Structures are given as C-alpha cells and as structure tokens.
C-alpha cells in the first residue's frame, strides 16, 4: 500500500508540530522519519495511524482519503515507543487481542486464533514466552511482542514509533538487523520514527529528515549523507566541521582571508562552510588552505581525532588516518576534499 501526505499541518496550542508536510511512501518501502525531538516526526506518524487528526492537509492510502476513517478502520499496525502492552494480559492474549476484537462475522475460530498467534510468536522467536506477563519480559522481548501484536491484524501499513528508543545499545543493534530481515520477509509498507541517524541510515530504504515540523530532505541513506540538501541536514547527519565564512566576489573568505576553494552552490554573503571530519585532509604546515596547530589527539577505532586550533581563530575537530603521526603542538595545513557552503551564518 502507498501512503501519501499532502500539506499536513498540525498545531498543539501555540506550538506548530507540523508545518505543511508532503510525503509519498512507495508500496513495500521501509522508510525512516529522522529528526531531533520536537521535529514533528512522531506527530506525523500518529496522524498517519489516525491517533491524531491534522488541522489541515490530506492523508491518502493507495490514493484514497484515509481521514474519512478512524484509527480503528485503517488497518494500521502501530508499535509504541513504550510498547503499550496490555499489562493484565499474558503474551499470548496480547498478540491475540486484535483477532479477538474483530466483528463476529469475520472473527476467526479459537483454533485459528491459536494457530495464528503461535505463528506470530514463532516469527518473533518468542513462542516460549506465551504464558508470561509483560512485566516479566525484558525490554527487547516486549518490543518484539508489541510487533507481533501489531502484525496479528495483518496490517496494510506498519508504523513504529522510536521502536528501539528505550533499549540498550547492544539490543538495539541486534533488533535493527532483525527488523530489516523481518521487513524483507513480510514486505509491508513500513515507517519508523527515530532520532538516531545511525539507525535510520542502517535500516531504512529511504530517510526523511525533519526539523521544526518541516521535511528538510528525502533520499536514500547515501543521498542524505553524501549530498545534504540543507545546512540542517549536513549538521544533523554525520559529524561536520562548521566554519562561518563570507562569500564575496566569487571567493570564500574566512575571517577576512580568502580561502583557496571554489564557491559551491549559490551562497552569497554570510554563509557556513560544512566539511565532514574525515574530508578535511591534513598535510604539512605550508600546504593546504587552512592552517593551525594540533592541541589534542585521541586515537580509537580506524581513525584518530585531532583538535586543531586554526590561526583564523576557530577550533575544529578532524578525523585523520591512524598512519599519519600527529603530536600536540604540530603545525599543520588543511584542505577540504569535499565540502558544501550554505547561505546563512
């Protein structure tokens, strides 16, 4: 099923949670809504689910108006951040709930319900927990039960609100892989909300980056990482060095000194130069276009992170290969390999 949002606006009192959002989700896609808290991503998800109503705009499922129907009639599987398992029901009954509340004429028989629940518990690999109560489960187990419960009604769309937000780092990693595999096997159009860029980039087919109730960019994980459309996206995804520059007369100036780099994009006047940490190449003091002295070095993983005080005044952090020896006090020259310049300070 395809999902389309057109000009969706939603305010809570004076706070504008969504400020005109347009989005198309393709059939069978796994999409991530990524943004800082307060960016409106959860509100958009809840509006698609029918748990919240927009002040203006349209939501279409397969081209049909979804706002005519309440949450109950939309056949949307929703997985809540804090699981929202029914605390007085055991795992089996939690998963069976959606099947038991169906209208009598289409309700499955008890045997069919049992078989379906068993199948779902097998799918999430927790059939051995059927008799437990939610309070007896770990966070990761609860999350998987919540997913099994949402899948029980054979939803046309699966929506997940910060599905791994409340879990510890190791469990998150495992569940990420698992969600990808699961989505591949059930192939239901799915949207998940996250504030964790790594999660979004690793799991989703496409990533929607949101800020202040607006969509900043929609694209594949490599699109949003390699070619950020806005200053916000560049700053939010991946770690960037940001330097305030002035673009005048076809040249880029840092603190009044021209830099030996081409003006990129249509920026003019006060602008910001964005460079990924690993795209800032480091060389001898007389090379490059930026100069400074190493003030701090930390080595971990495949890179070493150096803090460099630029002669132009700012201090930046760069990632350099481990094989280049850096010591505190070394004078170095720097040149950005890839960079973007966005208008605005």
Partner 1 sequence: MSIEMTLQRTPDGSARSLAESAARRDPRAEPAIVRVAIITLAIAFLSIFVVLPLVVVFVEAFGRGVVAYLSALADPEAWSAIRLTLGVAAVSVGTNLVFGLAAAWAITKFDFPGKTFLITLIDLPFSVSPVISGLVFVLLFGAQGFLGPWLQDHDLQILFAFPGIALATIFVTFPFVARALIPLMQEQGTQEEEAAISLGASGLQTFFRVTLPNIKWGVLYGVLLCNARAMGEFGAVSVVSGHIRGETNTMPLLVEILYNEYQMVASFAIASLLAMLALITLIAKTILERNIDGDMPHDD
Count of residues for the chain?
A: 345
Provide the minimum distance between the beta carbon of 38 and partner 1 in the complex, in angstroms, as a whole number: 19
Restricting to residues 75-104, name those near partner 1 by CB under 8 A.
75-78, 80, 82, 84-88, 97-98, 101-102
41 or 142: CB nearest partner 1? 142
Among 10, 41, 144, 149, binds partner 1 (CB under 8 A): 149
88 or 296: CB nearest partner 1? 88
Question: Which of these segments, 34-42, 149-157, 184-192, 203-211, binds partner 1 (CB under 8 A)?
Answer: 149-157
Instruction: Round to whole Å and give the CA distance between 7 and 58.
Output: 7
Provide the minimum distance between the beta carbon of 182 and partner 1 in the complex, in angstroms, as a whole number: 19
86 or 222: CB nearest partner 1? 86
| Residue of 92, 62, 87 whose CA lies nearest to 74 | 62
291 Cα distance to chain centroid: 35
152 or 320: CB nearest partner 1? 152
Tell me the sheet residues that pair with 242. 274
Sheet holding 331-336: strands in order across? 280-284, 331-336, 290-300, 303-310, 315-321
Site string for partner 1, 107-136 (x = CB under 8 A): ----------------------------x-
- Would you count residue 328 as binding partner 1 (CB under 8 A)? no
Provide the minimum distance between the beta carbon of 127 and partner 1 in the complex, in angstroms, as a whole number: 20
Angle 331-335-340 from CA coordinates, rounded to 5°: 140
Number of residues in contact with partner 1, rule: CB under 8 A? 30
Token pair of 163 as six digits: 């599905």
- Would you count residue 340 as binding partner 1 (CB under 8 A)? no
Using the CB atoms, write b or e for 180-199: b if 16+ within 10 Å: eebbeeeebbbbbbbbbbeb
Provide the minimum distance between the beta carbon of 20 and partner 1 in the complex, in angstroms, as a whole number: 24
The single residue listed with the structure tokens 């310049």 is 341
Instruction: Round to whole Å and give the CA distance between 328 and 337.
Output: 24
Instruction: Round to whole Å and give the CA distance between 274 and 152.
Output: 46
Residues 6+ apart with CB under 8 A from 286: 333
- Would you count residue 338 as binding partner 1 (CB under 8 A)? no
- Would you count residue 210 as binding partner 1 (CB under 8 A)? no
Among 71, 115, 270, 285, binds partner 1 (CB under 8 A): 71
Question: Which of these segments, 64-72, 119-127, 247-255, 270-278, binds partner 1 (CB under 8 A)?
Answer: 64-72
DSSP string computed for 197-263: HHHHHHH-SEEEEEETTEEEEEE-HHHHHHS-SSHHHHHHSS-EEEEEEEEETTEEEETTEEESS--
Provide the minimum distance between the beta carbon of 76 and partner 1 in the complex, in angstroms, as a whole number: 6
139 or 219: CB nearest partner 1? 139
- Would you count residue 15 as binding partner 1 (CB under 8 A)? no
Token pair of 295 as six digits: 């003030």
85 or 241: CB nearest partner 1? 85
Query: In the complex, which residues of this chain contact partner 1 (CB under 8 A)?
Result: 49-51, 70-72, 74-78, 80, 82, 84-88, 97-98, 101-102, 135, 139, 142, 149-150, 152-153, 166
């Amino acid at each position: 099923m395809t999902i389309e949002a057109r000009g969706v606006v939603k305010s809570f009192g004076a706070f504008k949670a969504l400020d005109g959002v347009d989005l198309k989700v393709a059939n069978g896609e796994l999409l991530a809504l990524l943004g800082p808290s307060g960016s409106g991503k959860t509100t958009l998800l809840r509006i698609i689910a029918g748990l919240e109503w927009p002040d203006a705009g349209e939501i279409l499922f397969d081209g049909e108006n979804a706002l005519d129907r309440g949450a109950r009639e939309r056949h949307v599987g929703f997985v809540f951040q804090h699981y929202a398992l029914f605390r007085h029901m055991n795992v089996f009954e939690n998963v069976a709930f959606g099947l038991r509340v169906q209208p009598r004429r289409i309700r499955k028989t008890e045997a069919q319900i049992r078989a379906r629940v068993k199948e779902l518990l097998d799918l999430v690999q927790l059939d051995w927990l059927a008799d437990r109560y939610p309070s007896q489960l770990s966070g990761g187990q609860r999350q998987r039960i919540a997913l099994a419960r949402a899948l029980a009604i054979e939803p046309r769309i699966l929506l997940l609100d910060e599905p791994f937000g409340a879990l510890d780092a190791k469990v998150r990693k495992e569940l990420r892989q698992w969600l990808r595999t699961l989505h591949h096997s059930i192939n239901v159009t799915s949207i998940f909300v996250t504030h964790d860029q790594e999660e979004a980039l690793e799991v989703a087919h496409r990533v929607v980056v949101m800020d202040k109730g607006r969509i900043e960019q929609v694209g594949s994980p490599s699109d949003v990482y390699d070619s950020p459309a806005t200053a916000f996206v560049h700053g939010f995804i991946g770690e960037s060095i940001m330097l305030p520059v002035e673009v005048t007369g076809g040249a880029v100036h840092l603190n009044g000194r021209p830099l030996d780099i081409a003006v990129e994009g249509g920026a003019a006047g006060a602008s910001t130069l964005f460079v990924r940490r690993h795209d800032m190449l480091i060389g001898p003091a007389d090379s490059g276009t930026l100069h400074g002295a190493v003030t701090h070095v930390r080595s971990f993983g495949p890179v070493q992170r150096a803090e460099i005080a630029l002669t132009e005044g700012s201090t930046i952090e760069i990632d350099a290969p481990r094989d280049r020896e850096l010591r505190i006090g070394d004078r170095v020259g720097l040149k950005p390999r890839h960079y973007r310049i966005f208008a605005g300070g």
